[in-house]
Each structure stands twice: as structure tokens, then as C-alpha cells.
């Protein structure tokens, strides 16, 4: 079973026309599943937090040198 992209009713997977709204259905290989849009967001977040962690580490390492000199 699949869902009609137009009327959202359940229809057979091999159907060419929706039996409810009578619209032609796209070919099965043309129907793309939703891309995993969370993957790029997760990677960007990881890069940002890694960069922030490196900057914080370097800042506190240098701050320790300032305190030791002063």
C-alpha cells in the first residue's frame, strides 16, 4: 500500500491512477522519499561546537599564561 500524493488516501502500490481522486500517479521510481534533512544540520552543528570548543580551549590556555605572567 502507498499513499496518494494528491488526496492522501491509501491505494495499492502498483496503481497507476488513484481510485479516489482519479488522478494519474507518478511512477514509483519518481516518488522520492524525504531526504534526511537533519544530517547537514547535524554536521553544521558539530562543526560549530567543535570550533567553539577549540576557541575556548585556546582562550583559557592563553589566559593561564597571562595570569602566570602577571
Q: What does the domain layout of the chain look like in residue ranges? A: 2-27+35-69
Model pLDDT, residue 67? 78
Other residues' Cβ atoms within 10 Å of the Cβ of residue 34: 5
24-68: per-residue pLDDT in tens? 998 866 555 666 778 888 999 999 999 999 999 999 999 888 877
Q: How confident is the model at residue 3 (pLDDT cuts 50, 70, 90)?
A: very high
The most distant pair of C-alpha atoms in the chain lies apart, rounded to whole Å, by 81
Model pLDDT, residue 65? 81
Residue 5 has pLDDT above 60, yes or no: yes
What is the mean predicted confidence (pLDDT) over 14-33?
82
Q: Which residues have a Cβ under 8 Å from the Cβ of 15 and sit 6 or more positions away?
A: 2, 25
Amino acid at each position: 500500500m502507498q499513499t496518494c500524493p494528491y488526496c492522501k488516501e491509501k491505494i495499492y502500490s502498483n496503481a497507476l491512477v488513484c481510485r479516489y481522486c482519479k488522478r494519474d500517479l507518478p511512477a514509483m521510481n519518481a516518488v522520492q522519499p524525504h531526504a534526511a534533512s537533519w544530517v547537514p544540520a547535524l554536521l553544521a552543528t558539530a562543526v560549530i561546537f567543535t570550533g567553539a570548543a577549540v576557541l575556548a580551549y585556546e582562550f583559557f590556555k592563553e589566559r593561564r599564561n597571562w595570569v602566570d605572567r602577571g
